[in-house]
Amino acid sequence: MQTDLADFIKGTAEGDKADEILRKCVHCGFCTATCPTYQLLGDELDGPRGRIYLMKQVLEGEAVTERTQSHLDRCLTCRSCETTCPSGVEYGKLLEIGRKVVDERVPRKGMDKVARAALNRVVPDARLFGGLMKVGRLARPVMPRILKDKISPARTRGVWPEARHDRRMAVLEGCVQPTLSPDINAAAARYLDSVGISLVVAPDAGCCGAVGLHNSDHEGALVAARRNVDAWWPLVESGLEAIVMTASGCGVVVADYGDLLASDPEYAERAKRISDMTRDLSSVVAEHLPTAHVSTHTRVAFHPPCTLQHGLKTKGVVEKILRSAGFELTNIRDSHLCCGSAGTYSLLQPEISGQLKKRKLSAILQDSPDVIASANIGCLSHLEPDAGIPVRHWIELLA
């Protein structure tokens, strides 16, 4: 595709990147067939090819309207289109740049502004989120359905073994996971301890920055990324082997810190090193496959989060781990499609999100699983209220 970027962005790092991406797109439209919002809404501008065209217009200096913004807002950032694209168009990166420019020109108003500000304040702050969730659990009986579904029951954390091995990896606790499902990381620590790896936590590390990136708070995302680099660096210098992600939504962001902070001279080098050391839990466990098979005939439906399959391009690894542990995996129709969680999308775009959840659960439950497993706290907490069967992180089934 030919481009002629406007002066405000031409020659900048973001402009060069956007230009490179846009020029790769040949407008073939293969991506539209695998886009969940295009499938639901049937509008070219709610599919990747249309959104790419809208962003091209914006970057070429055409007027930006609320309509443009709403078509970009409706994108789940699932990146299913990237997996399908034969030309290697990095749609996710282009959207990050496009949304930033659009949000600078079309200020958020009314409830949209309030909702985004509240999410940016509450979600990344693990303590604040945990406190509000406690209050929410008390008030749950009188809440409207949309909020009720977001209030999960309190769960306990199991044993986290003392760090006793020479091999050490850090795990990101993140923002919402310690409150919603505190045993996920402890289960990872128990499993890795059993194969000779100690899992440790950098106390000052927190939200990966995804919330800001998805909610028009690019600066907030950079602050989170810098804080995490600072928090992990002493561990890196003392021989840490890897930084492990148990939520693929965080993993895809931390793996991108090198790019995110590339123009920050103080952080660029360390951020790149952190990105290079970042691994999804499945890639570590795959090197230490379970030797003891489970004795039950539990049928597991593994829902691969978009961030795992389209973002990190890791497909089939968790399935292999679960099979080697003795679980029977059920079939899921259209497993490449998003469940509608997509970070804070389920709160900001409840109708589309709700329809995608309904479709996903129907596809998952068709083959009668006993339990649903996934690899991202967002998908787990989104699917659980309506699943009718247990929903767990895959490491909890193993540990």
Binding site for ligand SF4 (CB under 6 A): 25-31, 35-37, 48-49, 51-52, 75-81, 84-85, 87, 89, 91
Determine the Cα–Cα distance for residues 259 and 261; give it in Å rounded to an integer. 6
Cβ proximity to ligand SF4, 34 vs 275, nearer residue: 34
CB of 14 to ligand SF4, least distance (A): 19
CB of 49 to ligand SF4, least distance (A): 4
Minimum Å distance from CB 172 to ligand SF4? 23
Q: Please, are residues 56 and 3 in contact by the beta-carbon 8 Å criterion?
A: yes
Min separation Cβ 28 and ligand SF4, Å: 4
| Helix-helix angle 350-365:377-387, to 10 degrees | 70
Write out the two tokens for 97: 């740049």
CB nearer to ligand SF4: pick between 228 and 353: 353
d(Cα 35, Cα 336) in Å, to the nearest integer?
Answer: 10
Nearer to ligand SF4, 76 or 184 (CB): 76
Find the farthest-apart pair of alpha carbons in the chain and give their distance in angstroms, rounded: 65
Pick 47 or 178: Cβ nearer ligand SF4: 47
**Number of C-alpha atoms within 13 angstroms, CB side, residue 154?**
11
Q: How far apart are CA 232 and CA 201, in angstroms?
A: 9
Cα separation of 361 and 43, whole Å? 24
| C-beta of 240 vs 342, nearer to ligand SF4 | 342
Taking the complex as a whole, the smallest distance from the CB of residue 210 to ligand SF4 amounts, in Å, to: 14
The closest of 222, 224, 373 to 301, measured between CA atoms, is 373
Return the structure tokens found at 30.
């293969």
Nearer to ligand SF4, 30 or 233 (CB): 30
- Convert 288-321 to b/e letters by CB count within 10 Å (16 or more is b): eebeeeeeeebebbbbbbbbbbbbbebeebbbeb
Nearer to ligand SF4, 27 or 164 (CB): 27
Strands 197-200 and 167-171: parallel
As a 3-state breakdown, the chain gives helix, strand, coil percent values, each rounded to 5, of 55, 5, 40
Rounded Cα distance between 204 and 213, Å, is: 20
User: CB–CB of 246/146 below 8 Å?
Assistant: no
Q: Based on CB atoms, which residue is closest to ligand SF4, 174 or 340? A: 340
Return left, alpha or beta for 154; rule: phi > 0 is left, psi -120 to 50 is alpha, else beta. Answer: beta
Cβ 313 to ligand SF4 shortest distance, Å? 14
In angstroms, what is the minimal distance from the CB of 92 to ligand SF4? Answer: 7
| Closest CB 24 distance from ligand SF4, rounded Å | 7
Q: At its nearest, how many Å lie between ligand SF4 and the CB of residue 83?
A: 9
Both tokens assigned to 129: 């989120």
Residue 301's H or E segment, with its range, is strand 299-302
Q: Considering beta carbons, is residue 78 or 197 the nearer one to ligand SF4?
A: 78
**Shortest reach from residue 377's CB to ligand SF4, in Å:** 20
Query: Which residue number, 77 or 248, has a Cβ lying nearer to ligand SF4?
Result: 77
What's the token pair of residue 39? 């499938």
